[in-house]
Amino acid sequence: MGEKRYLKWYNKLGYGSGDLAGNMVYAFLSSFVMLYLTNTVGLNPGIIGTLIMVSKLFDGVSDIFFGTMIDKTKSKLGKARPWMLYAYIGCAVTLVANFAIPASLGRTAQYAWFFIAYTMLNAVFFTANNIAYASLVTFCTRNSKERVEMGSFRFIFAFSTSLIIQSVTVQFVRALGNGASAWKTVAIIYAVIGLIVNTISVFSIKELPEEELAKDKDQEEKYSLIEAAKLLVSNKYYLMICGTYVCQQIYTAMLNMGIYYMIYILKNEDLYSVFSWAINIPVIIAMCITPMLVERMKGLYRMNLAGYILGTAGRVGVIIAGYMGSVPLMIAFTAVAALGMAPWQGDMGAVVASCSEYTWLTKGKHIDGTMYSCTSFGTKIGGGIGVALCGWLLDISGFVKTSAVQPTSCINMLHVMYLWIPMLLSLCITFIMSRMNVEGANEKLRAQMESAE
């Protein structure tokens, strides 16, 4: 007899649309905030990078804090949905603030404005919304296949939104005048769309009742923030997932530097949208078939490892094509790399759920909401390090924000950032994937528990 099904197709579709809202914030911020700050506001990329890094000091505690709060929440909307709903209002406001730095302010005040807006967006509002959204996979179904399907729907929306934003934003800003007011207007439009879609997503799915969620639990778990942190750190697979997320976000930040690569090396900023298609279309296609691939490959571990081996090979191809000066080959190998890395994006929620099960099997504690802090922790820490690193590397390379032609040192650095660093990060993730067989570990633990009875 198969596992009980909890969701209809429209529940999974509605859940997935939540990442459209999330990426209205995240994709826009991560892809264009550096370009806006350097080329429009005129701020120094090295200082921006430092401010972003300092901002991440506030993020370290907030992930576990909000995860723990979600686990302890009881409301008519459930545990996660109220956090997802109300936190997005703050996301919308602070997103606009990041792209609305007043020109009348002095330089120091402009840096302070950005730092406060960026920190509030990432450390508070996006954290609460993102952890709540990710943990819904656990609170809405106990069916492992449905969790994979929810992940696929989620990331189809995520990468579709990233594709749209990366494809149209430069042209959108240009059409609105290409100045500070244009960036602010675009930010407002994206924030409003995200707010509407997030609200729809919240009410398109319901959390399971407490008695259903309490199955397989001996009693209601009570633990402090410190105890939750200890449980997370003791789970090696949680640490692996966090490490993977950090690497992925630095990887994404480097690819987002493609806008500089297109402007100053390929001499055509509109190519940025072409490369965005090469990244996102293969991912969207892969998301549609990930549930089938999981069954064909007989598990998440084999599929994710094989995918990242292919993805790393694709990034090697991008390096070769880049130095050959062949844009078509660069696009082709970019698509191969994206296709290989895509399955992990679709089944990540199921892997985190298995990671949570590992804590239950080894420690006897359910910390589902807290476990999903790895998604926000890795996204913010990795994204912060990535954007900060981009700023520092741009600054030390001699980047001149007012010049259409950059010095040789900057051109060489853009090659390193856009070609070499993504390949090395992909290689690191492949190694982590080779060790992340949490499914196999859980099977062995269950077998041991059964034999001991």
pLDDT, residue 3, reads 63
Torsion sign over Cα 85, 90, 93, 98: negative
Q: Domain total for the chain?
A: 1
Residue with the larger pLDDT of the pair 299 and 195: 195
Name the residue among 402, 380, 400 with its Cα closest to residue 29.
380
The answer on pLDDT for 442 being more than 90 is no
40-49, 117-126, 280-289, 392-401: the lowest-pLDDT one: 280-289
Asked whether residue 60 is assigned to any structural domain, the reply reads yes
11-15, 90-94, 350-354, 392-396: the lowest-pLDDT one: 350-354
Name the band, by pLDDT with cuts 50, 70 and 90, for residue 53.
confident
Structure confidence by residue, pLDDT tens digits, 89-130:
999 999 999 999 999 999 999 999 999 999 999 888 988 898
Average pLDDT, the chain: 84
pLDDT, residue 165, reads 92
pLDDT, residue 323, reads 92
Range of the domain at 148: 10-208+224-452
The answer on pLDDT for 155 being more than 80 is no
pLDDT, residue 218, reads 47
Share of the chain above pLDDT 90, in %: 36
Asked whether residue 216 is assigned to any structural domain, the reply reads no
Asked whether residue 217 is assigned to any structural domain, the reply reads no
What is the average pLDDT across 215-236? Answer: 67
Give Rg (Cα) of the chain. Answer: 22
Structure confidence by residue, pLDDT tens digits, 54-77:
887 776 667 777 777 877 778 888
Q: How far apart are CA 176 and CA 197, in angstroms?
A: 24
Structure confidence by residue, pLDDT tens digits, 275-294:
988 988 888 787 777 767 76
When mean pLDDT is compared over 23-27, 68-72, 196-200, the highest value belongs to 196-200
pTM of the model: 0.74
Torsion sign over Cα 214, 219, 222, 223: negative
pLDDT, residue 60, reads 61
pLDDT, residue 199, reads 94
Residue with the larger pLDDT of the pair 450 and 377: 450
pLDDT, residue 1, reads 46
Share of the chain above pLDDT 70, in %: 88
Asked whether residue 144 is assigned to any structural domain, the reply reads yes
The answer on pLDDT for 173 being more than 60 is yes
pLDDT, residue 72, reads 78
When mean pLDDT is compared over 155-169, 175-189, 354-368, 400-414, the highest value belongs to 175-189
CATH number for 41:
1.20.1250.20
> Which letter does DSSP use for residue 122 in this model?
I
> Is there a contact between 198 and 23 (Cβ–Cβ < 8 Å)?
no
Would you tell me how many other CB atoms lie within 10 Å of the CB of residue 226?
10
Q: How far apart are CA 342 and CA 339, in angstroms?
A: 5
State the alpha helices, DSSP H only, in 269-326. 271-296, 300-324
Name the band, by pLDDT with cuts 50, 70 and 90, for residue 301.
confident
The answer on pLDDT for 224 being more than 70 is no
Would you tell me how many other CB atoms lie within 10 Å of the CB of residue 204?
16
The answer on pLDDT for 318 being more than 70 is yes
What is the average pLDDT across 82-95? Answer: 94
35-44, 359-368, 420-429: the lowest-pLDDT one: 359-368
Token pair for residue 425?
A: 């990060």
Asked whether residue 370 is assigned to any structural domain, the reply reads yes
Torsion sign over Cα 101, 260, 159, 352: negative
Structure confidence by residue, pLDDT tens digits, 377-390:
676 678 778 888 99
Asked whether residue 301 is assigned to any structural domain, the reply reads yes
Q: How far apart are CA 155 and CA 42, in angstroms?
A: 34
Asked whether residue 95 is assigned to any structural domain, the reply reads yes
Asked whether residue 191 is assigned to any structural domain, the reply reads yes
The answer on pLDDT for 219 being more than 50 is no
Name the band, by pLDDT with cuts 50, 70 and 90, for residue 212.
low
pLDDT, residue 37, reads 93
Name the band, by pLDDT with cuts 50, 70 and 90, for residue 215.
low
Q: How far apart are CA 162 and CA 338, in angstroms?
A: 13
